Every structure is written in C-alpha cells, then in structure tokens.
Amino acid sequence: MNPVITKKNFSMSDQAKPAATSSTVPPVPVPGSSVPASAKTAVPPSVAFDIQDLSIFYGKHQAIKNVTIKIPGSSVTAIIGPSGCGKSTALRALNRMHELTPGARHTGKILMKGEDLYGPGIDATVVRRRVGMVFQKSNPFPTLTIAENVLVGLRLNGVRDKALLNRRLEESLRHAALWDEVKDHLNRPGNSLSGGQQQRLCIARALAVRPEILLMDEPCSALDPIATAKVEELIHSLKSEYTVVIVTHNMQQAARVSENTAFFYMGSLIEFGPTEQIFMNPKNPQTEAYVSGRFG
C-alpha cells in the first residue's frame, strides 16, 4: 500500500487561505488546508480513528485487551475509567507515543481516516504532527519565550515564513483563549505564567501545527476549577474544526464536554456510545456501577 503520510506531501502552510485577512476578526483556520492534497481517504471523514482489535503490551504485561472502536471525527470523545484501566495507554497509541516506552509493542490495527498509522514506511514523527497531544502536567519549554513556545513545532519543522508564523501565533493563542492575557508580553519565558495559563499555552502550542486531531490526557487534573472551566470552554470551541479525544477521570467533565464516551476497565473497552446514553442509560452493568460512583 502506498504510504500516504510521507514527509514530502505533508505541508503545514495554509494552502487554501485567502491572501489578505482583516486584522480585527481572527481568521478561522480552514480545516481542509492542513490535510495533504494527495490523501484520498477511503473512509468518510466522519470517522477519525478506526481501531481494530488493538492490544498493547509493555513487556509481558498486557495493558490494552482487544479493543475495537470507531472514534468519530469533528467531535469530542471522552475516555473514562478508573485509574490503571489503560485510558492513557490507549490515547498514546493514537499518536504512537506509547512507542517511547521501552518494551512497548502492539497487535491490531489503527486506521486514521483510512490510513494505517503503523503501516510500513509511515514516519511516526509525521503522524505526531497530524495528531497532537496535550499532557496532564503542563510542560512549556523553559528556555523559550511564550511566542517561541507556541511556534516551536512550526519552526523546528522548517517553517520560516514570518508572516505565516505571526498569523499562526495569534490564531493559536486566540483559539486557546490566551491571546488577550499574553499579547503584551509574548517575550516572557514560557514558565512565567500561572498553571492554567501554562496549560492553555501548551494547547496553543499543540494547535499551532494544525493537527487534525487533538489528544488530551487529563488536561485539567492539575488545574483549579476556574482554569478548568476555561479549558472546557476551549474544548467546546475546538469541536467544529478538530477531533478531540480526551481522557479524564472526572466523569462530570466527560459529561460536560463530550458527545461520545468510551468506558474502559482493566484494559478492555466495556462500553462506547453517546455521552448521554452512557451516563443516563448505560447498557452494561459495569458501566452503570462506575458512573453511579459505586466504584472508581
């Protein structure tokens, strides 16, 4: 199969953008402009990830057991479950980050918009540019300024066009609901912000490379309620252009932000469905026990 995700045809420039944009209204990023033109998807774009019988092993330990799930695109999907159930592992498999752990291996297939993420010749680095990730603890680079942090993904991948960089800087910070707070001191170091602002900075950084999909691994667990509310608002606003998969141990948060929810337990997918149904009317008794707080 001809690998479509190759370095050559992946471009992060705005292919479909109009030449002049008004400076009062922030330009809305056009979703199609970041997908390589030659990516002919065989699957309708409404399925972001088609996961088929996925199992992940760390050495002898099996962290994920035969999970099959179709994650829809252009929406927010939450993954919930008690600690140690494999939520983070499953999430990290979606952008090949679990490979960084020594001894990690997997069986099964993950198709992203029809393309096999783990196919021969697929460069993991390019996959990670299309599938971004935000971590539990915010990690802005300390030696870079706020502006440099946001743009590091672009700059270190060779983007030099200053106009493009400045545009993306503003767009990403606006998208992350951080622009108004930092626009006057973009040259301060990245870690001079508060915890909630740092996390939003990391989100802006992840958004700046225009991934098609954003993975969030418990992004609010280290934040206070006000910062959490801001991030949840931000996730709502991302819904129309991005696919978001969020792992959370906070069920109320999952109920607030997501359209679909997957419940994991001990490495297996117990139930997957619309969020309302999972919380109000779960089909599986284990799901019911978890969402009603009987264990967790």
Return residues touching another protein (CB under 8 A).
95, 97, 100, 125-130, 132-133, 135, 137, 139-143, 152-153, 156-157, 189, 202, 205-206, 209
Nearest-angstrom CA–CA distance, 184 and 145: 13
* Cα atoms found within 13 Å of the Cα of residue 197, Cβ hemisphere only: 16
> Residue 254: helix, strand or coil by DSSP?
helix
CA 228 from centroid of its chain's CA atoms: 17
Which of 13/281 has CB closer to another protein?
A: 13
Residue the block writes with tokens 């030099």? 160
Q: How far is the CB of 210 from another protein (least distance, A)?
A: 11
Which of 217/241 has CB closer to another protein?
A: 217
Residue the block writes with tokens 């337990």? 265
Which of 70/128 has CB closer to another protein?
A: 128
User: DSSP string covering 82-97, please?
Assistant: STTSSHHHHHHHTTT-
* Cα atoms found within 13 Å of the Cα of residue 184, Cβ hemisphere only: 2
Q: How far is the CB of 145 from another protein (least distance, A)?
A: 11
> Are 115 and 123 in contact, with CB atoms under 8 Å apart?
no
Q: How far is the CB of 101 from another protein (least distance, A)?
A: 11
Q: How many helices (H) and strands (E) does the chain have?
A: 10, 10
Q: How far is the CB of 234 from another protein (least distance, A)?
A: 18
Q: How far is the CB of 114 from another protein (least distance, A)?
A: 20
Instruction: Find all residues with CB under 8 Å of 273, minimum gap 6, and list them.
Output: 260, 261, 283
Nearest-angstrom CA–CA distance, 63 and 87: 9
Which of 130/174 has CB closer to another protein?
A: 130
Q: How far is the CB of 148 from another protein (least distance, A)?
A: 10
Q: How far is the CB of 38 from another protein (least distance, A)?
A: 19
Which of 25/156 has CB closer to another protein?
A: 156
Which of 200/256 has CB closer to another protein?
A: 200
> Are 133 and 203 in contact, with CB atoms under 8 Å apart?
no
The kind and range of the H/E element at 268 are strand 268-274
Q: How far is the CB of 110 from another protein (least distance, A)?
A: 16
Which of 128/183 has CB closer to another protein?
A: 128
> Are 154 and 165 in contact, with CB atoms under 8 Å apart?
yes
* Token pair belonging to 105: 């291996």
Which of 109/128 has CB closer to another protein?
A: 128
* Token pair belonging to 134: 């935000």
